[in-house]
Structure 1
Amino acid sequence: MDSVIVAACLPAIAISLKGGSLEIFWVGTSYLLAQTIVVPVYGTFSDIFGRKSVIIFATCLFLLGSILCGCAQNMAWLIGARAAQGLGGGGILTLAGVIISDMTTLRERPKFASFIAFAWAFGTNIGVPVGGAIGEFSSWRWIFWINIPVCVLGIIGLVFALHLHQEISSLRSKLARIDYLGMSIFIAATTLLLYGLTTGGTAHPWKSASVLAPLVLGIIGLGIFVVVEWRVVAAPMVPMRIFSNRSASASYFGAFVHGLVLWSFTYYLIIFFLGARGDALFKSSAETLPGSAPVALSAVFAGIWVSKTLHFQKLTWIAWILITLGTGLNALMKPNSGSGILYGLRVIAGIGGGFLFQVPLFAVQSHMSNKEDLGIATSMITFFRSTGQAFGVAIGGTVFQNEFDRFVARAVTQGSLTEDFVISGAQATGAYGIIEMFPKVVVEVYRYIYSDALRTVWHVTTGIAGAGLLASLVIKDASMDKGHQSSQGFREGKVEENIA
């Protein structure tokens, strides 16, 4: 939830802390950037140092970041605190799923994984309306302070209730297992790539060296990372064997596309209601719910379905068909569309998106041959989904801004707009209040410009979702009727001892 809740409160934060557009941009981006970069790092650290200690560390870091965010007195303070919050959030996001996998057999896992998928999907999709409500009716600081009691209770529960098997070895031997070279290359390359993606078209033009240089260096760095992990280090952070199975590789790609499409859907849908419909912030936030509410429920249904059938292939295909079809149907939305189009049709993509919070993980774990890879293989699903989210914002933003400028230029050429009322694509996501002060005829023109520009975003994301659908066709079915896969399973004896 914390990765999206801030978006609805950015105007209030800007006023309170006197932030400029670039600083406001980094308030949202710093969290996503930090969260994504550390996901595989937490996976490999938890393999070495144990899940419990690492997730407690991550939760404490997230708690500290939340407190610092809530107490921020200037924009630099808030941006740094958001980065710290993201470093902790990445660990929580990763290790919750890994620990569930540790504690359960493969046949039991879908039921328990449903809770994790529900929490992620629910938090992601209620973040915008909750943030909108807090931003409109209370202080923006509460979007951070509400994390404090949740984290405190979570830390207490982890300390006293989580008992997992852990390898007994010296600190020196554990430190010797860390892939320092691979980790350094990965963090540097991923940071550069995501920096270029997130700043392109927002903080800097896409053609500028400030964007192209980190993008190119990031791609080259990731290529070097693959070679190092494959050929150089003896104990790689990300063993390349986890990609050797085509079903697993297709599932990793599917997680990336899922993150891209669903995040773009979530991120830009509220812009339709703010810009094309001219609705207030809280109402616009609430209007996103028909598309987001089914996500959490269908994520739970997917777990129940797979736990009953112990197979996932057909559900994977159904999920991709639904999210592709539903994303395409977004293109029917216009400023004057009826409730059926504005709200009803969006349920389709929500159901498909919910299924896809679950099934890629099942495909990866059911085809996994080495139980020592459970932590990093599970973490990479989270990493690819989070990376897809960054791509979704970047691609959606580029398409939206370019199309907005194109439709504005067309309106000027046709005489519908004059130069006095021109809003650029770079300004469009924060210009709703300005546009509302224009003459009514100009406001009406801009509502259709927003709608038409977003329609192209839906077309592009539908094509990308179609690529995910095609990739899913190569995923082989496998039975989930298997036993335990992890070396860090739940210590039942400890529980019995505590009960006694």
Structure 2
Amino acid sequence: MNNNSSSHISHIQSSYQHRPSQEDETNTVVDVDIHGDSKKSELPPSSLSSPPEIVTEQEPTERFSAVRRGILIFGIILAMFMISLNTTVIAPAMTIITTDLTDNISLQTWIATAYLLAFNIAMPLSGKFSDIFGRKPILVFGVFIFFIGSLVNALTPNMEGLIGGRTVQGLGGGCVMTIAYVLVPDLAPLHLRPRFQSGLTVIYGLASVVGTLIGGVFVQKLSWRWDFWLNLILGGTALIIITLLLKEPTVIQKTSFSSKLKRIDFLGAFLVITFVGCLLIALNFGQSYGWSNPHSFGPFIGAAISLVGLIIVEGWIASEPLLPPEIILNPTITIFYLYIICIGLGFIATLYYGPIMFQAVFGSDSTGSGVHLVPYMGCLIVASIGSGFALSHFPYVKFYLMLASVCNIIGFGLFHMVNEHSSWAQQSCYIMLCGFAFGLSQQNTIMGVQTVAPQKYIAVATSLTNFFMMLACSIGVAICQTMFSLFLSHELTLIDPEVLAIAHQYGADTNYLYLKNMPAESQQPMIHAYMQVVRNVFIMPLVAAGVGVICACAAKNTRFGAKKGANNANNSKDDYNLEKVLSTTAESVIA
């Protein structure tokens, strides 16, 4: 931003602070675009009942040399890669780990569930905590406890220790993922932010895909414990870089630690933890015990009660809410959250059930199924990096979301044409469009939320974006698994009893990995059954893609780099008037 623009903004802000409160006075705001140019724009007197806070997209207050910023971004990306990798790297080793550490095979699912549970809990909390304690302490804390959790897992002699270590890892991972995205507006110049956001999206997608490949290699060539030893290398390097090079980018109130503790919405935090915990436990138990079992619907009831309590506390009781109504009740931001939920449902279905199809139907091993996802990953990278550059020149978020939605629904639609006789190109390339869609979607949704959200709520709004996507992934896994079990039971009833008896003998009726052990002449009916099951499972992401199209069409045409006048920070929560705030937002952010 040039000096003239900066002085012009300061002059307007100073003039505003000393002007009389007159309803017939015209409200003047500053439109700062991504290249630093500024211009005045007039708002009608009726747009607000009281003067708006002038909020512009700010350049980072801390100036970094290019080399220092590059090394620091590398450290943050390394931490992001580490926590994203651990979402999937453990998948090929889960059965072996369970066999090595315990005789209770039912504990296997908790290897993944413990991580996701803690991960989802940490995300909405860490955004608010970073506003109170600072970005750097929360990020360093996240990387450090992830490091400790990995060390526990690498050395543990029993399953209880592993589940505990995975829980600690999840808490650290949730903090890292949230603060990594929150730091982008704090560290990067305005015109470079889309590129840094695209880098984080690429790393998240890349790590999620290659995680199964790396995990498979470790299991086959070394030991499953290397899934965690690797984290010590990555986490240690990231921790050193971040600790040495990152200076606190935000202005934190100079108050005592006890005063900061008093700002924490402990009741809201407890209800968030209870809601997320009960919901994910219910989803896990539903797959294990059945959805009508008390083990399943009991936690669902607990989640519902916690959600009602959370709404009451955040809306009427908390003085500094963990989930501010100004964010949750903002229709523009809510549309973005609904959109990212749809994207998360499609992403997790592709990531988990694409490889299942490649292994069950086309006979790939765990490494080969990962190779089939390379086109998906390639398109994700191209779309993410490409849109990061394009957003600097065509800064309208809605365009990218609509393009992604169309690609998503076409990709999942074409996927339903795949059968057991499809070529390798058809198997892999139909979902390329879905990778392209995800590459466009995640970062642009975050950019849209950050553009619309009031400046003081950037961290909270960003953390909730990632929270809703990861929560959608957790729910999506449960939905897909339930659909898989139901459709498999149906398809098995259509198979010749003699073939089914052979499949049962080899265990292929319950585990697709045993199909290759069956006699060749008996495999085809079972392969066809599994193909039908996977195609039916992909109805869920197709429906989610359809809802995503509706959300993209309903989204405001927000312009990146032109955020202003979204909220009057001086209004009390009781006086908060959403309609009037949104009327100003519509004037100031719609292209």
TM over 0.5: yes
Residue 184 (structure 1) aligned with residue 184 (structure 2): no
Give the corresponding residue for 2:171: 87
- The letter of the residue matching 2:279 is L
One of 525, 532, 541 as aligned partner of 1:461: 541
How far off is 1:133 after superposition?
2.2
Q: Secondary structure at the match of 1:477?
A: coil
- The letter of the residue matching 1:79 is I
CA shift digits 1:162-188 (9 cap, x unpaired): 112332211121011000111111111
Give the corresponding residue for 1:149: 233
Q: Kindly report which structure 2 residues correspond to 1:472-487, keeping only aligned pairs within 5 A, or say none.
A: 472-482=552-562
Q: Between Structure 1 and Structure 2, whose CA radius of gyration is higher?
A: 2
Q: Kindly report which structure 2 residues correspond to 1:385-424, keeping only aligned pairs within 5 A, or say none.
A: 385-411=469-495, 414-415=496-497, 417-419=499-501, 421-422=503-504
- The letter of the residue matching 2:503 is F
Query: Matched residues in 1 for 2:114 and 2:505: separation?
Result: 27
Contact residue 492 and residue 500 of structure 2 kept, 8 A: no
Query: Matched residues in 2 for 1:212 and 1:442: separation?
Result: 40
Contact residue 106 and residue 482 of structure 1 kept, 8 A: no
How far off is 1:279 after superposition?
2.2
- The letter of the residue matching 2:547 is A
Give the corresponding residue for 2:369: 284
One of 145, 149, 157 as aligned partner of 1:61: 145
CA shift digits 1:436-456 (9 cap, x unpaired): 333223322221111110000
CA 52–94 in structure 1, closer or farther in 2 if over 3 Å, else same = same
Give the corresponding residue for 2:20: none
- The letter of the residue matching 2:355 is I
- Most deviating of 98-107 and 149-158: 98-107
How far off is 1:206 after superposition?
1.4
Contact residue 380 and residue 436 of structure 2 kept, 8 A: yes
Query: Matched residues in 2 for 1:442 and 1:207: separation?
Result: 35
How far off is 1:431 after superposition?
4.6
Contact residue 35 and residue 90 of structure 1 kept, 8 A: yes
Residue 438 (structure 1) aligned with residue 518 (structure 2): yes
Give the corresponding residue for 1:31: 115
Contact residue 89 and residue 212 of structure 2 kept, 8 A: yes
How far off is 1:336 after superposition?
2.2
Query: Matched residues in 1 for 2:225 and 2:290: separation?
Result: 32
How far off is 1:5 after superposition?
1.0
How far off is 1:270 after superposition?
0.9
Give the corresponding residue for 2:161: 77
Give the corresponding residue for 2:207: 123
One of 530, 555, 562 as aligned partner of 1:450: 530
Contact residue 401 and residue 426 of structure 1 kept, 8 A: no
How far off is 1:479 after superposition?
1.9
Q: Secondary structure at the match of 1:95?
A: helix
Give the corresponding residue for 1:111: 195
How far off is 1:407 after superposition?
0.3
Give the corresponding residue for 1:344: 429
- The letter of the residue matching 1:422 is H
Contact residue 117 and residue 357 of structure 1 kept, 8 A: yes
How far off is 1:44 after superposition?
0.9
Query: Matched residues in 2 for 1:15 and 1:57: separation?
Result: 33
Contact residue 121 and residue 299 of structure 1 kept, 8 A: no
How far off is 1:26 after superposition?
1.0
* Backbone CA RMSD of aligned residues: 2.1
Residue 269 (structure 1) aligned with residue 346 (structure 2): no
Give the TM-score normalised by structure 2: 0.78
How far off is 1:284 after superposition?
2.1
How far off is 1:102 after superposition?
2.1
Query: Matched residues in 1 for 2:507 and 2:309: separation?
Result: 36
CA shift digits 1:410-454 (9 cap, x unpaired): 21xx446344533899973x4513x33332233222211111100
Give the TM-score normalised by structure 1: 0.91
Identical positions, percent = 26
Give the corresponding residue for 1:495: none
Query: Matched residues in 2 for 1:477 and 1:425: separation?
Result: 53
Give the corresponding residue for 1:488: none
Contact residue 400 and residue 425 of structure 1 kept, 8 A: no
Q: Secondary structure at the match of 1:3?
A: helix
Contact residue 125 and residue 293 of structure 1 kept, 8 A: no
Query: Matched residues in 2 for 1:297 and 1:130: separation?
Result: 22
One of 257, 282, 299 as aligned partner of 2:342: 257
Give the corresponding residue for 1:52: 136
CA shift digits 1:436-491 (9 cap, x unpaired): 33322332222111111000011222011111111111111122224899xxxxxx
- The letter of the residue matching 1:240 is P
How far off is 1:104 after superposition?
3.6
How far off is 1:46 after superposition?
0.8
Contact residue 328 and residue 458 of structure 1 kept, 8 A: no
Contact residue 400 and residue 441 of structure 2 kept, 8 A: no
One of 313, 318, 337 as aligned partner of 1:228: 313
Structure 1: segments with no counterpart, 5+ residues: 486-500
Residue 40 (structure 1) aligned with residue 124 (structure 2): yes
